[in-house]
Amino acid sequence: MSTKNSLIDSAPLSHDSRRDWLKSASTGLGIYALSNLLRNNAPALEHRSNQKELHHPPRAKHVIEIFCPGGMSHVDTWDYKPELERLHGTPFDSELGKQTFAGVAGKHAKSYWQFKQHGQSGRWISDLFPNLAQHVDDLAFIYSMQSKSALHGPAMFMMNSGFIQPGFPSMGSWVTYALGSESENLPEFVVLPDPRGLPPGGIINWGAGFLPAMHQGTIMEIGNGNEIIRDLFPAEPIERDAESRGISLLQRWNKKHAQERPNDSMLEARIASFELAGKLQVSVPEVIDLHQESTTTHAKYAIDDPDVGPFGKQCLLAR
Amino acid sequence: MYRNITHILPRPILCLTLLSVLLPTAFSQDSTTLPDLERTARTLLRDRCIECHGETTQEGGLRLDLHESLLAGGDSGKAIQLGQSSESLLISRVSASDDSRMPPNGSPLDSSQIETLKQFIDAQAPWTDAPLADPKRDHWAWQPLSSPSPPPLNHNLADESNPIDQFLNDQLAKVGIIPVAKANREVLIRRLYFDLLGLPPTPDEVEQFLSDSSHDAWERLVDRTLASPHYGERWARHWLDISHYADTHGFERDQRRDNAWRYRDWVIDALNKDLPYNQFIRDQIAGDVLPESTPESTIASSFLAVGPWDFVGQVETPSPVIKRLARADDLDDMIAQVMTSICGVTIHCARCHNHKLDPIQQQEYYSLAAIFSGVKRGDRIVSAEESSAIESQKSDLKNRKRSIDQELLQLTHGLSLADIVGGGDGSGNGVPGQGIDPNSGNLQAPNDKRGFLADIVVNRLNQTKNPWIDAVFIPDGGALRQLAISQSGIQALDIPATDSKAWDAIRNGPVNSQFSTTLQTIDYAPPGYSMLSLHANAGITFQLPHDKLLTANSTFSQPANSSTTSTEQSTSPSTEPASFTFTSHVGYFGQTPKNGADVFVLLDGQIVFKYLGLGRDDGLQTIHIDLPQKDAYLTLIATDEGNSIGHDQVCFINPSIASIQQSQSPAIIERIAILRDQSKKLQQELDKLPAPRRVYGVLTEPPTPIHRLHRGNTEDPREVVRPGVLSCVGPKLQELEQLDQQTPDAQRRLALAAWLCSPDNPLPARVIANRLWHYHFGKGIVSTPSDFGLGGSLPTHRELLDWLADQLIQSDWSIKRLHRVILLSQAYQRSSSGNENPAESVDAANQPVWRQNPRRLDAESLRDSILFVSDSMVLNMHGPGYRDFDYQEEYAPVYKHRVFTTPEVFRRSIYRFVVRTTPHPFLTSLDCPNPATLTPVRNTTTTAIQALATLNNALILQQCNHFAQRLLREHPDNIEMQAEQAIRIALSRRASDEEIQSASQLIREAGLPQLCRVLFNTNEFIYVD
């Protein structure tokens, strides 16, 4: 008996490493055709078929967003504010003070860390990041972003969707909606939440808003005992044999049903979705298995550190 | 040429002025005729200028659509100097290259356009026609309803029977498409049931329809189905999608709205009883302020409040800037909801600028904001009369009970410290649930529940009004483990340091969000017991003057209505100095099993009782302390045990001070029994009293002035705007014209309701008719049901839509009659399969409706069908929503969805308690929308994640077992019968032999639940033909 059996009889992965597998997953053939098939949402479909006509063809292959609500302040890291050093200890402008969340503002405070210029670009970085400082010429910094609200909830929505109200698609939703995904066997938009808790506003920070649900973030829970992806395997154990007999009858009936309705692509898409689901059952546990990474990598990401380990793990998985 | 001019200028006086100045310049330049010049120039003005300088808006006081105002100019003076283009401000502004350039948006005018304007001015601005109109105002949706007659019958299409078909067939004939045939009856009844009820027909219902040979079998089925109470449940879902209903606030502090459901029930009932649609609208906009307002119409007005609301921005933040922004968002939500749901207009685009597509000025947006500027959201009673009737009954019963309880308390408990905390004198006349804020000493009303207290000052001795209480305080022993505990200067030693936080109040009864009032199976909730709750960190010192205790004690020992006892008492020697005891039982009523809190009782600053690390598992601890025969200070302290506060609810049960000598004679014992019985009966009566109905809805307030906000920026207010509506559509009503800054909230909303419900406003009827079409055909006549503006789709059948809208109004706005006419059309009954029809290659999108559209069940219908088929469904209507999540009270409350086995959660999905920040994972995978969004059309996606959910989710597997149990119950011994019935029940049709055979085989090899799982996952189950 097994709960972790696959929906389909899938050949074991022949690739030696997780990296190889990921690489092949992102360069597989026929992927666009399948993702098109899975989209019966007209605008998205239309959009995809016009892919070649985009005036700005996408060059990025992956987007990783590390979002640290409650993280370090920008004025302590890479947003050098010499004016703060000058004003250190003087009272904060009372008019501005009115806008702070907690009421009366205190005094100006300069950063606790020293700033120095680095790289050819002369980017200012604080002593907090001695290693990162060596790579400033490869990084892009955006200093112009600001939130329309100082409140946690609205500010989270602002960061993730560009609006302070809930209900708008998140960044990942827009990216996958607009540019699609090349990955056949993994969800398009994956979220690795901090095991210690969700940001204010909860999981709708990665919601699809008014875009189709397929563009919402798929949550992968790592290392907290929960299922990696919700419902990846049956909630109660089902014997492997019973499972495969059931799935095979299901697909047989579904195919017959679709044959009688030959012009309905939604039906074909749903049949394909079960096949893809079976592939996910194989690929997802494979992808999150960090044992295949070398001990050097583990050390670099401080996987075993009690404090920063969970974050290192998230970073490694994201990569 | 000269004659030409006089001919086109009708006013003789103007002609004369023209004559005198015109000749030298106008005709020397080129050969353009004057009518041409006028047309070109005026088209230019119309297209590029009058959006801001027209009938509705006159930026800078300038209006360019009327000749007089063009000549008059604006705030900056004359716009044109007739005959002198080079001197004209208009020309210098359109030619400017800096910020002053006009028009400010879009590309600048090109040189030939500027040249045209110059010639126009030099030619004395010729002007013949009526004022210029904005072409956006000609858009079809703003035009009055036409009352089109259906096209004549097309005799080539024999089966047409209904005006809808006449409209459709007429267009089909034009494109040469022959519609497909009617679907078979098994398909039809399933389609009808899902459309109207959101549930599948039972095998019996299918059989009944199949065997009904009467000519009006379909018509009667439609009528029967429309009369089902499940109709309202199904269609309320659509309206709640459109109005983004949920049971929590949303945003960071996503608090519950426990009374929101009454609005959901109102929608269900309104649809079931076919409330005329105009009344349906009116009640939702102004039901609470109607002259003939009822509790039901008041509940209806909660429509304005069902959207998200930011508690932190509205209430918690001290920043006025953030509050203004939150309120602006609040109003925006109301405006957008009302205008998109009822009018199909995307008004909120005009929040920051004039609408880019529709003829809606920014100022009109703020006029609508001014309509709602007296509307706030909150919990309210639905009827003042109902509430006061119940309240007076209640207070009568309570008064009777209180006097009994008071006597009872005197006979049994002595001086009650819980009662004192509740504002009483210890005899039982305090208010249950009332408390004292330990940070201020202020009274805290029973319903004034607080979370973490703000602005805490530890170890400050706060006085109260109650003479028995010396002080309350928030203890923090600090490093020295010492603090003052009484105004008299008494110091306490050995009190630990704390995290300096405090929660709610010291209460006569449980504190806010108390985990439980039960400890080791006994419920100590008053009445029956008194409870003094002290959430760590808090302390209270009672001052107990000995002579006062004596007086109190002698009163307590005098049972009323008992002269015998009284005599006995009076004869008993009372000269002996009385001594008193403090007795109580203390327990930890929070969730933590061990090491929750530290508890201290001090007498005159000396610790006389302590329990360190008290937890739930420790149960109740007995306290028995003899008081000295002198004035004394008794102090109760709860601290956080060094692990910060969290559910540290410490309760003293029956804390009382009684005389040791107090005896209990048989007469008293008998009296106690009688009183207890009376008290119990009164309590039962009280329990039977309904609570006044409350709903999360609209609170009406005096409106505040609304300013136009430049670029939507709340910190950049411009002119004050008068309440009003859109100018591009609908009637000009007197009640709207009369609105001004002084108009109260009620009149503002009543005027809006009148405008929306007027038969001369074409949008509401068109929009709802289209919504019905959308839900019956899977696609609206306008495929953007909440956007009828220039950005939306054009109607595929404009005349049909107007005919439907007109029918609605003609039939007294009856929604059910409109359903009926659609459902009885041949178009509705057509097969959904385009199979073998040549039209499939011509028009696969089915634009002219030559077949029905197959549809996937929405998330709720799928869940409901699974529960219904499995015979698990509890079909009870109405009431608070079922909660299929674990709830945890926190600053930001936590909702964790999981699968429950209790039947309470097996209700229809419309009764789900909807949490905004935490979407339901299973339903979301099936495109159940986020209730932050106004959802006119559900998305339908097909994903692997969704396939995993329908295969593996615990709810599905649970229901597979239920379905299997049902089949086993009905056909215990026959596998073939189980297989046949499974298919019949799930798919609402008879099974083929081949299917029975395969299904039976699966039952034998994998078990019956596996067959159920397969059926729930078939496309046939999840799609409707």
**Closest C-alpha among B196, B345, B270, B149 to residue B806:** B149
pLDDT of residue A98: 54
Question: Which residues, 6 or more positions from A173, have their beta carbon under 8 angstroms from its beta carbon?
Answer: A189, A206, A207, A208, A209, A211, A215, A216, A217
pLDDT at B572 over 60: no
Interface of B with A in 502-531 (CB under 8 A): none
DSSP A198: P
pLDDT, one tens digit per residue, over B716-737 is 999 999 999 998 898 899 999 9
Amino acid at B27: F
Residue B946 and residue B928 in contact, taking contact as beta carbons nearer than 8 Å: no
- Rounded distance, CA B610 to CA B902, Å? 42
How many other C-beta atoms can be found within 10 angstroms of the C-beta atom of residue A201? 27
pLDDT, one tens digit per residue, over B420-435 is 999 988 877 889 999 9
Residue B492 and residue B511 in contact, taking contact as beta carbons nearer than 8 Å: no
pLDDT of residue B159: 56
pLDDT of residue B554: 56
pLDDT at B44 over 80: yes
Q: Do B1018 and A254 touch (CB under 8 A)?
A: yes
Tokens coding B213: 């040979």
**Closest C-alpha among A68, A95, A61, A86 to residue A193:** A68
Is residue A235 within 8 angstroms of chain B, CB to CB?
Answer: yes
Measure CA B118 to chain center.
Answer: 56
Looking at the predicted complex, does its ipTM rise above 0.95? Answer: no
- Rounded distance, CA B611 to CA B259, Å? 41
Is residue B186 within 8 angstroms of chain A, CB to CB?
Answer: no
- Rounded distance, CA B52 to CA B60, Å? 9
Percent of residues, chain B, with pLDDT higher than 70:
90
**What mean pLDDT is predicted for residues B285-291?**
95
Residues of B in contact with A218 (CB under 8 A): 945
pLDDT of residue B933: 83
Residues of A in contact with B932 (CB under 8 A): 165-167, 204, 209
pLDDT, one tens digit per residue, over B341-353 is 999 999 888 998 8
Percent of residues, chain A, with pLDDT higher than 90:
16
pLDDT at A51 over 80: no
pLDDT of residue A223: 64
Is residue B310 within 8 angstroms of chain A, CB to CB?
Answer: yes
Residues of B in contact with A216 (CB under 8 A): 924
pLDDT at B674 over 50: yes
Residues of A in contact with B251 (CB under 8 A): 151, 153-154, 166, 201
Is residue B932 within 8 angstroms of chain A, CB to CB?
Answer: yes
Residue B772 and residue B239 in contact, taking contact as beta carbons nearer than 8 Å: no
Q: Do B835 and A261 touch (CB under 8 A)?
A: yes
pLDDT at A25 over 50: no
- Rounded distance, CA B512 to CA B519, Å? 17
Select from A248, A253, A255, A268 the residue whose CB has the most chain B CBs within 10 Å, as the one to mutate to test that interface. Answer: A253
Q: Select from B312, B921, B942 the Cβ nearest to the Cβ of A266.
A: B942
- Rounded distance, CA B996 to CA B376, Å? 60
Residues of A in contact with B1010 (CB under 8 A): 238, 242-243, 245-246
**What mean pLDDT is predicted for residues A19-29?**
39
Please report where in the chains the tokens 């990162």 appear, as a residue: A132
- With cut-offs at 50, 70 and 90, classify the pLDDT of residue B635: very high
Q: Kindly provide the b/e burial profile for residues B59-92, where b requires at least 16 CB atoms within 10 angstroms of the residue's own CB.
A: beebbbbbbebbeebbeeeebbbbbebeebbbbe
pLDDT at A48 over 90: no
DSSP, collapsed to helix, strand or coil, labels residue B931 as coil
Q: How far is CA B49 from CA B62, B65, B430, in A?
A: 10, 9, 71
**What mean pLDDT is predicted for residues B738-767?**
94
Is residue B317 within 8 angstroms of chain A, CB to CB?
Answer: yes
Q: What angle do CA A162, A166, A167 make, to 5 degrees?
A: 90
Q: What angle do CA B850, B852, B856 make, to 5 degrees?
A: 150
Q: Do A269 and B939 touch (CB under 8 A)?
A: no
How far A244 CA sits from the closest chain B CA (Å)? 9
**What mean pLDDT is predicted for residues B661-676?**
71
**Closest C-alpha among B719, B571, B532 to residue B57:** B719
Residues of A in contact with B713 (CB under 8 A): none
- With cut-offs at 50, 70 and 90, classify the pLDDT of residue B844: low
**What mean pLDDT is predicted for residues B240-269?**
93
pLDDT of residue B966: 95
Backbone angles phi, psi at A9, to 5 degrees: -80, 100
pLDDT at A266 over 50: yes
Q: Do B833 and A201 touch (CB under 8 A)?
A: no
Select from B1019, B1022, B1024 the residue whose CB has the most chain A CBs within 10 Å, as the one to mutate to test that interface. Answer: B1019
pLDDT at A52 over 70: no
Q: Tell whether omega for the bond before B103 is within 30 degrees of 0, i.e. cis.
A: yes
Q: Higher pLDDT residue, B418 or B155?
A: B418
B111-122 and B34-48 helices cross at what angle (nearest 10)? 120
Q: Which residue of B has its CA nearest to A34?
A: B943
How far A25 CA sits from the closest chain B CA (Å)? 16
Q: Do B957 and A234 touch (CB under 8 A)?
A: yes
Is residue A189 within 8 angstroms of chain B, CB to CB?
Answer: no
Q: Select from B320, B916, B948 the Cβ nearest to the Cβ of A166.
A: B916
Q: Select from A167, A214, A236 the Cβ nearest to the Cβ of B941.
A: A214
Q: Which residue of A has its CA nearest to B895?
A: A202
Residues of B in contact with A101 (CB under 8 A): 317, 319, 322
Q: Do B251 and A154 touch (CB under 8 A)?
A: yes
Q: Do A263 and B834 touch (CB under 8 A)?
A: yes
- With cut-offs at 50, 70 and 90, classify the pLDDT of residue A33: very low
Select from B180, B184, B244, B252 the residue whose CB has the most chain A CBs within 10 Å, as the one to mutate to test that interface. Answer: B252
Has this prediction a pTM greater than 0.90? no
Residue B659 and residue B553 in contact, taking contact as beta carbons nearer than 8 Å: yes
Q: What is the CA radius of gyration of chain A?
A: 24
B485-499, B652-666, B756-770: least confidently modelled range: B652-666
Q: Do B924 and A213 touch (CB under 8 A)?
A: yes
Amino acid at B422: G
Interface of A with B in 83-102 (CB under 8 A): 98-102
Beta bridge partners of B639: B598
- Rounded distance, CA B758 to CA B761, Å? 5
Beta bridge partners of B695: B380
Q: Which residue of A has its CA nearest to B947?
A: A274
- Rounded distance, CA B715 to CA B321, Å? 7
Beta bridge partners of B531: B653
Residue B598 and residue B494 in contact, taking contact as beta carbons nearer than 8 Å: no
How far B954 CA sits from the closest chain A CA (Å)? 5
pLDDT at B568 over 80: no
- Rounded distance, CA B762 to CA B1024, Å? 33
- CA A38, A43, A47, A50 dihedral sign is positive
Q: Do B945 and A218 touch (CB under 8 A)?
A: yes
Q: In B672-728, where do the E strands start and end?
A: 694-700, 706-709, 717-721
Tokens coding A282: 């194989």
- Rounded distance, CA B238 to CA B223, Å? 20
User: What DSSP letter does each residue of B346-412 carry, written as one string?
Assistant: -GGGGGTSS-SSSS--HHHHHHHHHHTTTEEEEEEES-HHHHHHHHHHHHHHHHHHHHHHHHHHHHH
The number of helix segments (H) and strand segments (E) in chain A equals 11, 4
**Closest C-alpha among A218, A197, A199 to residue A160:** A199
DSSP, collapsed to helix, strand or coil, labels residue B518 as strand
What average pLDDT does the structure give for chain B?
86
**What mean pLDDT is predicted for residues B314-327?**
86
User: What DSSP letter does each residue of B96-111 carry, written as one string?
Assistant: --STT-SSSSSSPP-H
Select from B245, B952, B989 the residue whose CB has the most chain A CBs within 10 Å, as the one to mutate to test that interface. Answer: B952
Residue B651 and residue B534 in contact, taking contact as beta carbons nearer than 8 Å: yes
pLDDT of residue B43: 82
Q: Select from B244, B322, B925 the Cβ nearest to the Cβ of A99.
A: B322
Is residue B941 within 8 angstroms of chain A, CB to CB?
Answer: yes
